[in-house]
């Protein structure tokens, strides 16, 4: 079944329809501690969820592990799930990533529906068919490509989010603007992220999701074009992995800092306009602050970059831009160039 992405206007009836269109002799809902309290409470009395069994896991990316995955498999097994059961993932990217992977592997695959409740999950994790867990200290090291039957995007959930989590998701929207076109990019860097207008944000979210959808449809398994979506992520994932043992940074913040480094390399290596870089970097610095790295952290960061799934052999591979909307995938950079970009990130 392909992925049906619904930007929701009538959430409760759309949820009932989605459930009825998926096989569901038994329905399970995966939540974390936060979404159980803030989100499940708002929908648990819906008729279509009356018989649902809730599986609750810990919150934060630190729980996206093999142990948690085994716990979800066990809960499905003990709850009597069959190959005809349905798992609804209600939560942020950690829940949709792990829940999607659990559903895709339990009894060789059961149907699942994603209901992302964070901006990050709406624009990134829940759309595009990537599922997985962290392993061996590395982000998303184990996983499969597998489409949710439905993804229900409802911006009302954003009222449950704090400013940091809105900004985290917005970084992925900024990335989509950079790889799409000048008009979308300009709207994004002109948005007041200090006091976000949720109605305007909902319209921008729709555009952002369509950028990702278009790319994923053309390249579902990341053979070429889909690597455009990795802009900011070679550095970003390294920052995220590095921070896990210190003071963890949210995924979107790591990506925002990764965009600074990779836009710098885009100016130097592929002729990205310096003024566009300045405008984007100044927006990121205003709303995301700075990353506390020193020269002593460079070897660890470079080591994380060498482990990136996009690499071939010993090269560090990044996605760069020639201009807004002009994506250059599979660009190799040397360790010296990585250090220069990290210097630029620190000096701003």
Q: What local confidence, expressed as pLDDT, does residue 1 receive?
A: 44
May I ask the CATH architecture of the domain 163-347?
A: Up-down Bundle (1.20)
Mean pLDDT by 10 residues, the chain (348 residues): 77 94 94 95 93 95 94 98 97 94 97 94 81 89 93 89 93 97 97 92 91 86 85 96 89 97 98 98 97 95 85 82 96 96 92
pTM for the complete prediction? 0.86
Counting every residue written for the chain, the total comes to 348
* Angle between the N-to-C axes of helices 182-189 and 163-180, in degrees from 0 to 180, rounded to the nearest 10: 160
The pairing of beta strand 150-153 with beta strand 316-323: unpaired
CA distances from 249 to 6, 164, 238 (A): 30, 10, 11
How far apart CA 179 and CA 318 sit, in angstroms, is 14
Structure tokens at 331: 């660009």
The pairing of beta strand 316-323 with beta strand 326-333: antiparallel
Three-class HEC string of the chain: CCCEEEECCCHHHHHHHHHHHCCCCCEEEEEEHHHHHHHHHHHCCCHHHCCCEEEEECCCHHHCCHHHHHHHHHHHHHCCCCCCCEEEEEECHHHHHHHHHHHHHHHHCCEEEEEECCHHHHHHHCCCCECCEEECCEEEEECCECCCCEEEECHHHHHHCCHHHHHHHHHHHHHHHHHHCHHHHHHHHCCCCCCCCHHHHHHHHHHHHHHHHHHHHHCCCCCCHHHHHHCCHHHHHHHHHHHHCCCCCCHHHHHHHHHHHHHHHHHHHHCCCHHHHHHHHHHHHHHHCCCCCCHHHHHHHHHHHHCCCCCCCCCEEEEEEEECCEEEEEEEECHHHHHHHHHHHHHC
Q: What local confidence, expressed as pLDDT, does residue 198 receive?
A: 85
- Tell me the chain's radius of gyration from C-alpha atoms: 20
CA 77 to chain centre: 28
CATH fold for domain 4-160: Rossmann fold (3.40.50)
β-sheet bridge partners, residue 58: none
Domain ranges of the chain: 4-160, 163-347
CB contact at 8 A, 132 and 144: yes
């Amino acid at each position: 079944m392909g992925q049906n992405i619904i930007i929701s206007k009538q959430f409760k009836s759309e949820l009932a329809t989605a459930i009825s269109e998926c096989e569901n002799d038994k329905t399970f809902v995966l939540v974390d501690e936060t979404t159980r309290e803030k989100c499940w409470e708002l929908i648990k009395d819906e008729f279509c969820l009356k018989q649902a069994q809730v599986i609750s896991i810990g919150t934060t990316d630190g729980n996206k592990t093999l142990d948690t995955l085994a716990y979800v498999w066990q809960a499905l097994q003990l709850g009597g799930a069959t190959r005809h059961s349905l798992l609804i993932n209600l939560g942020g990217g950690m829940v949709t990533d792990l829940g999607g992977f659990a559903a895709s592997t339990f009894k060789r695959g059961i149907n699942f529906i994603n209901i992302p409740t964070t901006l990050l999950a709406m624009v990134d994790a829940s759309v595009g068919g990537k599922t997985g867990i962290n392993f061996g200290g590395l982000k998303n090291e184990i996983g499969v490509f597998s489409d949710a039957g439905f993804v229900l995007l409802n911006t009302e959930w954003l009222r449950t989010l704090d400013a940091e989590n809105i900004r985290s998701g917005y970084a992925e929207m900024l990335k989509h603007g950079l790889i799409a076109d000048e008009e979308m990019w300009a709207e994004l860097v002109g948005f007041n992220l200090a006091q976000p207008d949720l109605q305007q944000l909902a319209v921008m979210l729709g555009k952002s999701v369509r950028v990702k959808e278009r790319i994923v449809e053309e390249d579902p398994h990341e053979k070429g074009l889909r690597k455009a979506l990795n802009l900011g992520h070679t550095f970003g994932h390294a920052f995220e992995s590095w921070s896990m043992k210190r003071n963890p940074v949210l995924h979107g913040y790591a990506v925002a800092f990764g965009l600074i480094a990779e836009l710098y390399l885009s100016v130097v290596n592929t002729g990205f306009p310096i003024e566009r870089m300045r405008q984007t970097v100044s927006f990121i610095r205003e709303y995301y602050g700075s990353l506390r790295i020193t020269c002593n952290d460079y070897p660890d960061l470079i080591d994380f970059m060498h482990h990136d799934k996009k690499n071939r052999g010993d090269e560090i591979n990044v996605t760069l831009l020639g201009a807004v909307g002009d994506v250059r995938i599979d660009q190799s950079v040397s360790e010296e160039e990585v250090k220069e970009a990290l210097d630029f990130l620190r000096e701003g």
